[in-house]
Structure 1
């Protein structure tokens, strides 16, 4: 079968032929119908050799959807033929966090060597993939698998970041979105659908700002030296109740913290900077403000995200590629020339 793999430190991904896997007891074999590309893939492929821990060769793809092809011993055979999305942050399934459906914060994953698909385990950027447990499958019904695949991360991650802040986003409040890419354009839609806040989106290109307007942002402004003053004016001097940084560069963190109001919440999602830092403490941030760093999302939240999409209330702007064109899609991701999310349709 064809697979897209990262095969050597510092290289670009390649399309290769590998053997089709067979499901072991408790596992599921998925015939992949769609697999999304993510900046996390680039982050992994840019890691220096001394920091890289994901194994080589690595079949990429942690955003996956497909149809159950076969099941291993102990798995309900009635699952065969079901269209599903893959919940990616796999955990042990038995610790306290996993029992609550919070497998993205599994207490034993590192100890047990459990890794997400495409981020340590063979991923979805292939014609077939192994899913370690049926609990990591969410039925998608008639939802387009291209939409479903992208929503497993590009949808779930902003949803998990925004949902805890909803009590703050009452009518008259303001949410600032930094970065209108694959995650940011979905974050804008979620805030508009789920709250009474006005949304102010910032980016560095007019094309991204137009995408922000297209998906419902109330204001789309250039991320430049005047941005802090403009946000202050749009909030009547109060500052933002929520800032979500989907870029994660030092410049965006510094900018976003200047936009935060008293009692506001700063949520750092992006990792473009590879380890940027925030300034906290008296006279550094507004009183009673919060700075949080969430990771991916909960299993039940993926159900909720997919329901929003099936209701027509959430749409991923995608560029589709064939599996043979996946390396070119990654080139566009590296170059920053994608509009929305890149997805390989198989």
Structure 2
């Protein structure tokens, strides 16, 4: 079968012929419907080095945002019907620590012993015709479109976990929330905030087409550039926003969050662009906090699929056949993709 392979650090991936995998005990073989191309993949093959911590060792098949149809059951697996569609919870932990017991494999206490972080991150992922996955990691999609659903495994789950964590800041009337960065995660985040709260959603990005899409989803937009923080504060009557969800995570965007947050507000850094920021007792609004989040729990993913099936969120996807998978990654590297690129290995 064909697969998009990460073969070495600082090396663009390749499409190779590999053996079709066989599901082991407790696993299923999934025929892939869609596999999302994510900026995290680009970081793996463009930015990471062998010296970086974590269980990311070449080579393996990329793709950690996956959906597909049941093809075959491994030993000991029951309760699944061939052809039914599922979304894959990507993280895979030890299954026995406190974090894994609550379905939060992303924070597994024994991650170093597992040997990989997730499907598509250290373990063969879904940029292939078939993939094996623990049966426990499957979330049913019913009759929902599995190709459009594929990005929800990260681009939906990641913002949802952060928003759920910060929702207490948005309870009640007169609340405002700022979304920084309107890529695949940010646009889904805008839709979730509109569905889950009564807060006024302010969104900002450097791309006008992304802001136009955010306005379609009910956000008030503020263009980046000089005076950006002042314009955002004006929309709150000078008070500042109650919560900020930063889907970029670079020094300038975190500083923007610090400049616009209200007293007792919360800043949630979701993006992993990286960069240091400063903090001062005399400039930080009283009791305003800042934290970072990573991916989410399998319980969260069930709730994300519920929002999707009920029509509250619609991922913006561009579909690519397997022959154009490397083109999708190149366009992602070049910043030409709005929303999410989804590769369809079995189209």
Task: Return the TM-score normalized by structure 2.
Answer: 0.95
Which of 185, 188, 193 is residue 186 of structure 1 equivalent to? 188
The CA deviation at 1:77 is: 5.9
- Which residue does the alignment assign to 1:241? 242
- Which residue does the alignment assign to 1:257? 258
- Which residue does the alignment assign to 1:324? 323
SS in 2 for 1:19: coil
CA distance in 1, matches of 2:117, 2:100: 14
The number of equivalent residue pairs is 342
The CA deviation at 1:32 is: 0.6
The CA deviation at 1:97 is: 1.6
CA distance in 2, matches of 1:323, 1:161: 32
Which of 77, 83, 86 is residue 84 of structure 1 equivalent to? 86
Q: How does 1:214-293 map to 2 (within 5 A)?
A: 214-217=216-219, 219-272=220-273, 275-293=274-292
CA distance in 2, matches of 1:151, 1:305: 7
Closer/same/farther in 2, CA of residues 241 and 77 from structure 1, 3 Å limit = closer
Given the alignment of the two structures, is residue 294 of structure 1 paired with residue 293 of structure 2, yes or no? yes
- Which residue does the alignment assign to 2:310? 311
SS in 1 for 2:33: strand
Q: Is the CA contact 1:7–1:56 (under 8 Å) kept in the aligned structure 2?
A: yes
CA distance in 2, matches of 1:195, 1:181: 21
SS in 2 for 1:154: coil
Query: Which segments of 5 or more consecutive residues in structure 1 lack a partner in the other structure?
Result: none
Q: Is the CA contact 1:26–1:72 (under 8 Å) kept in the aligned structure 2?
A: yes
Given the alignment of the two structures, is residue 66 of structure 1 paired with residue 68 of structure 2, yes or no? yes
CA distance in 2, matches of 1:112, 1:305: 27
CA distance in 2, matches of 1:64, 1:41: 13
Deviation string, structure 1 residues 265-303 (Cα, Å, up to 9, x no partner) = 10101112xx32232341242111111111101111101
The CA deviation at 1:344 is: 0.9
CA distance in 1, matches of 2:325, 2:155: 18
Q: How does 1:14-53 map to 2 (within 5 A)?
A: 14-45=14-45, 46-51=47-52, 53=55
Query: Which segments of 5 or more consecutive residues in structure 2 lack a partner in the other structure?
Result: none
Q: Is the CA contact 1:92–1:114 (under 8 Å) kept in the aligned structure 2?
A: no
Output the aligned Cα RMSD.
Answer: 1.4
Q: Is the CA contact 2:70–2:80 (under 8 Å) kept in the aligned structure 1?
A: no
CA distance in 1, matches of 2:158, 2:173: 24
The CA deviation at 1:171 is: 2.1
SS in 2 for 1:280: coil
- Which residue does the alignment assign to 1:337? 336
CA distance in 2, matches of 1:335, 1:112: 34
SS in 1 for 2:191: helix
Task: Return the TM-score normalized by structure 1.
Answer: 0.95
CA distance in 1, matches of 2:81, 2:300: 22
Moved more, 98-107 or 260-269: 98-107
The CA deviation at 1:8 is: 2.4
Q: Is the CA contact 1:279–1:285 (under 8 Å) kept in the aligned structure 2?
A: no
The CA deviation at 1:101 is: 1.8
CA distance in 2, matches of 1:172, 1:8: 51
Moved more, 30-39 or 50-59: 50-59
Q: How does 1:66-145 map to 2 (within 5 A)?
A: 66-76=68-78, 78-131=80-133, 133-145=134-146
- Which residue does the alignment assign to 1:158? 159
Moved more, 207-216 or 233-242: 207-216
CA distance in 1, matches of 2:85, 2:233: 47
Closer/same/farther in 2, CA of residues 96 and 49 from structure 1, 3 Å limit = closer
CA distance in 2, matches of 1:117, 1:284: 42
CA distance in 2, matches of 1:32, 1:185: 25
Closer/same/farther in 2, CA of residues 158 and 330 from structure 1, 3 Å limit = same
The CA deviation at 1:109 is: 2.0
